[in-house]
Amino acid sequence: MARRVHNFFAGPAALPCEVVKKAAEMGVLEFDGQGMSVMEISHRSKPFDKMFKNTQNNMLKIMGLNPDEYAVLFVGGGASSQFFHIPFNFLKEGMTADYVNTGVWSKKAIKEAEYFGKVNVAASSEDKLFSYIPKEFNLTPGAAYVHTTSNNTIYGTEMWNFPETGDVPHICDMSSDFLSHPMDFSKFSMIYAGAQKNIGPAGAVAVVIKKSYADQAREDIPTMVNYRTHIAKDSLFNTPPSLPVFVIGLVMEWILENGGLEGIAAINRKKADLLYGTMDNSNGYYIPHVQDVASRSFMNVTFRLPSEELEKKFIAEGTEKDLLGLKGHRSVGGCRASTYNAVSYESVSALVDFMKDFKAKN
């Protein structure tokens, strides 16, 4: 295996080493003994169809969802494309959609939805620079749907307790914490996630949608944005993102081999406890953006140092030690360590050792 650094980038992000190796050997060089790559084989062929269905079924297995009730779609366009697909399908005339505003990506989703109909911002944490998750929600009775964003990569918050929506469909953008811990996924009518954060390479979006909910969508919309189109063709209406789906399939196998979501969550908590504990015990040298412990993300840890000069030095010296991706998002500055499923405890431990050494010297 080639040299591997400690990858803390927010996305595209780290993949398990075993997955990268398998992808090269079993997919990129030659797929299933076919004499060609998974990038070259027909998506209508039996070997490809078997791989595709295994990936879908394993995802539902991990989530504890019934394949008779839910469909898994792999589509292109990035998770941002779902910002308009969702209201196009479900925000019907005269209805209101509820959105919880917890960061940049939820704001973008709100903007797209407003092109299609009325939007109620049911809760927002913008008043404190998105440093917490709201606990009270002003939901609209009979809303078209409630939209939440479970994890916020830029500000470092994560939604551990979701609003109770009753009979109103709940749609969630889980792009950056998808399949990182157990939850009752059956509470959601639709979940979507860009692959490049936690489950695969860039180029695919996983959409997990309740079939009965998709049946409620408008019919007078373009074919490609209609979820029923993709469900009817088992997500093969058009050529899917072949290589990304293949890698996602390998990641699903990796999750199952590592104890499912319970096993993955145990490691993620251990990493988070180590990193946040180091900052909380630094006497204010490392300052987490999210002071509300109950709102802290286990996937994206954002923090500041005493000065911007020290932050630049921290990032530069970290890079020299193969600790990459520690620069905060350009819109907020500071530092950020993204510790997705594939980021090992050893990588987080190496980061913590560097943080302690850097503090001692500066």
Q: What residues are annotated to the active site?
A: 105, 173, 197
CB atoms within 10 A of CB 269: 12
Nearest 10 degrees: Cα torsion 175, 83, 188, 225 = -110
CB 154 within 8 A of CB 103: yes
